[in-house]
Amino acid sequence: MISWKQNLNITGFEKKAPDLSLSRSSTLVAPEEEESHDKFHSAFLNKFGPNHKLLISDLENVPLGTPCDEKKVDGAVTANGYVSRLFVNGWVWEFLSWIVSALCVSGMAFVLGLYNDKRVPIKWPLGITLNAYISVLSAISKYALAVPVDEALGQLRWLYFSDRPRNLIDFELFDDASRGPWGSLALIIHTKAKSLVSLGASITLLSLALDPFYQQLVTYPQRPSDLDRSTVSRIVKYSTDDSLFVNSSNAIYFGSDSAIGSVMRSFYAYPSLFQVPEMAPFCASNDCAWPPFNTLSVCSQCEDISSLLHFDCLPDDGYWRFNWNMSIPAVPTTSCGYFFNSTGPKPMLMSGYAINSSTNAPGEALVTRQLNFRDPRTEEVYWEHSINFKNVPNAIVNFASVSVANAEAAYRNQTPVAHECVLRFCTQKIAARYYKGNYTENILSTFTNHTQRPWPIIMDGDASYNYVQNITIIPPDQDEIFSVDNKTMLQAIFAFDYKLPFYVTQQNTSALPLIRTENDRNDSRLTFLYSVDYWSTRNISNYVADLATAMAHAIRLHPTSSEKVLGSGSLEVYVHISWGWFTLPAMLLIGTLLFLVITMVQSRRQGASVFKTSAVATLANGLDDSTKQRVGSDSLSELFDKACTTKVMLQREMSTIKLRDMNSR
């Protein structure tokens, strides 16, 4: 040490510069020790005055300015000392730790709530991902929560030994419980989960599951986004001008609906190859869905009418024959087969064959005949427009289909397949989905208007048609009004007028089948080879339903009348928060607060000192001297053996508290 040479004289005390020379026993002291010398000098002058002679005993009364002594000035506790006592003798630190833990959990919940169900950001703020954010806050929360639990367990240890004698080994169990889960489990088993300490030990055990619970909070599933949203067509108001023609006299002529007409040509020309046109939706991914939507559509219905046919051999007008020509008066011939109205003035052959007038041998065979109940050639109406569907207003077409397999079947007088079918506009509620290249539509409901209305077609002259009604359909519980204007309705009717009536004939069993259709007032017709048995072998109801679906798809794809239904977009990764995984952290927070408050209340009721887990308190207030002598040993196993059989109790001894052996009393 640096020695002082005559620093203190007999008459007074003066501070002099230290002699920095080193003796054998001296040690160089760092310059910062000058501050402590200054404190010593000032304290000595304040205590004894400048003229006091220095005695060795005087040094014992000089305060050296240690941190513990600085808590009091003239016997009063300083502000720092008061705050320190709040932390040491009170529960401020434990409550602050609990608040920190609660703030961390609340902070996690707040931030996760901001991102819940949101698209994963391309760039995270400050480059910190949600997982990193959760990892940091959960670690702080977990360790902050351990502070009040451990300290409360430590305090309960003192209360545990203050009410009655306990085995000394229990002190070790409490100490282990405040250190970790294994000790907590041992304490729960020892106390049989019947005391307050079991709550604290259980909280410590359950804290092990906090990390897995936090890890399950955030997942990143995929979902359709609002970007590149999928679309599919529907139609609300059907109106088309693509078949309007104006001649030199400014007269307007209507052609057939081109959308429906293209379907009709495929349907009648190549029935074996006919397919319903696809809707061709737009989907940016392999999985798109649309909310259920309503659209204008076409519906069909078919009923069997074979009971109305009767076999006979009767004279008829030959209207069905391949070489029939409207401009040449028909020559009545005798035909055998199945007739409509066989007993009436105008019997109508639907399936059969003509009889050669000279040889009486079977001639040309009628294999298939489809009859429009409103003859577009003469505007003659059969059966008041319908046999089975008189309650259907504003039908697009109502026709009968009668057919056999081929001429041989006709010559055998085989009973034909006969149906009446009707097509009309309707509305449908559809749920649509596109998945891995496959687009499907599920019809949820169908609505048709059954309000009876007068016959809407009025002839104005020889070739002028007027459709005097607009078609309006309002589905129940819907605000949308679906409509087809009168002009467009007439065009749809014309599309069928060009195809019906429809005939398939064979000159004999070895001849190729031919069709005759598109009969108009100019005697033009279309003839070509045909799959003769198609109408007789197919399920007509399903086939006509396919025609209705094809027509519905055609009008929904109309370039000017259709509109888009927005569905899901391309897939995006989004943040999904499973809030249920916050259950355990919330329970532990509430349980810890409850555990801490009950411990404080019990300590106050018993008037116990607040020692908590303090090692100093354990050393100062441990075993009394006599108990130490009986229990003490230099072997840990022997110490444990004695601790298991020694019952101690916390008792006050003058100014101290000691654990006393109660077996010796």
Q: Which range, 210-214, 258-262, 564-568, has the best average confidence (pLDDT)?
A: 210-214
Residue 317 within any structural domain of the chain: no
Looking up tokens 């109106």 gives 239
> Is residue 5 helix, strand or coil?
coil
Task: Say yes or no: 60 and 101 in one domain.
Answer: no
Residue type, 343: T
Domains: count for the chain: 3
Dihedral of alpha carbons 360, 530, 398, 488, sign: negative
State pLDDT tens for residues 618-632: 666 677 666 776 777
In this prediction, residue 198 carries a pLDDT of 78
Task: Say yes or no: 252 and 209 in one domain.
Answer: no
State pLDDT tens for residues 633-656: 666 666 666 666 667 776 676 667
Angle at 433 between CA 429 and CA 437, to 5 degrees: 145
State pLDDT tens for residues 424-446: 999 999 999 888 888 888 999 99
Task: Say yes or no: 589 and 552 in one domain.
Answer: no
How sure is the predictor about 67, in pLDDT bands with cuts at 50, 70 and 90?
very low
Residue 647 within any structural domain of the chain: no
How far apart are the two ends of the chain, measured CA to CA in Å? 54
Residue 475 token pair: 């589905």
State pLDDT tens for residues 178-206: 777 777 777 777 777 677 877 877 888 88
Cβ–Cβ under 8 Å, residues 295 and 479: no
Task: Say yes or no: 101 and 204 in one domain.
Answer: yes
Lowest mean pLDDT among 107-111, 241-245, 389-393: 241-245
Query: What whole-number distance in Å separates Cα of residue 325 and Cα of residue 57?
Result: 150
Task: Say yes or no: 270 and 202 in one domain.
Answer: no
Residue 72 within any structural domain of the chain: no
Task: Say yes or no: 474 and 613 in one domain.
Answer: no
Alpha helices in 116-209 (DSSP H): 130-163, 169-177, 181-191, 196-206
How sure is the predictor about 247, in pLDDT bands with cuts at 50, 70 and 90?
very low
Task: Say yes or no: 436 and 468 in one domain.
Answer: yes
In this prediction, residue 366 carries a pLDDT of 92
Query: What whole-number distance in Å separates Cα of residue 28 and Cα of residue 18?
Result: 11
Lowest mean pLDDT among 18-32, 152-166, 244-258, 528-542: 18-32
Residue 392 within any structural domain of the chain: yes
> Per-residue pLDDT for 12 more than 50?
no
Task: Say yes or no: 368 and 490 in one domain.
Answer: yes
How sure is the predictor about 25, in pLDDT bands with cuts at 50, 70 and 90?
very low
The DSSP code for 469 is -
Cβ–Cβ under 8 Å, residues 336 and 317: no
Task: Say yes or no: 541 and 506 in one domain.
Answer: yes
Residue 325 within any structural domain of the chain: no
Q: Which residue has the higher pLDDT, 58 or 594?
A: 594
Residue 640 within any structural domain of the chain: no
The angle, 0 to 180 degrees and rounded to 10, between the axes of the packed helices 583-606 and 92-115 is 160
State pLDDT tens for residues 289-336: 888 999 999 999 999 999 999 999 998 888 888 877 766 666 678 899
Residue 315 within any structural domain of the chain: no
Four-CA torsion 314, 319, 322, 324, nearest 10 degrees: 120
Give the pairing of strands 237-238 and 482-484.
parallel
Task: Write the burial class of residue 557 (CB in 10 Å: 0-12 exposed, 13-18 middle, 19+ buried).
Answer: middle
Q: What is the CA radius of gyration of the chain?
A: 52
Lowest mean pLDDT among 56-70, 96-110, 523-537, 563-577: 56-70
Give, in order, the Cα–Cα distances in Å from 568 to each of 224, 227, 264, 437.
5, 8, 34, 15
Task: Say yes or no: 92 and 196 in one domain.
Answer: yes
Cβ–Cβ under 8 Å, residues 132 and 111: no
In this prediction, residue 256 carries a pLDDT of 59
What is the mean predicted confidence (pLDDT) over 64-92?
56
Residue 656 within any structural domain of the chain: no
Task: Say yes or no: 457 and 387 in one domain.
Answer: yes
Task: Say yes or no: 302 and 250 in one domain.
Answer: yes
The residues, ordered by sequence, that sit 6+ positions from 24 with a Cβ below 8 Å of its Cβ are none
Domain range spanning residue 250?
Answer: 235-308+356-399+421-526+536-566
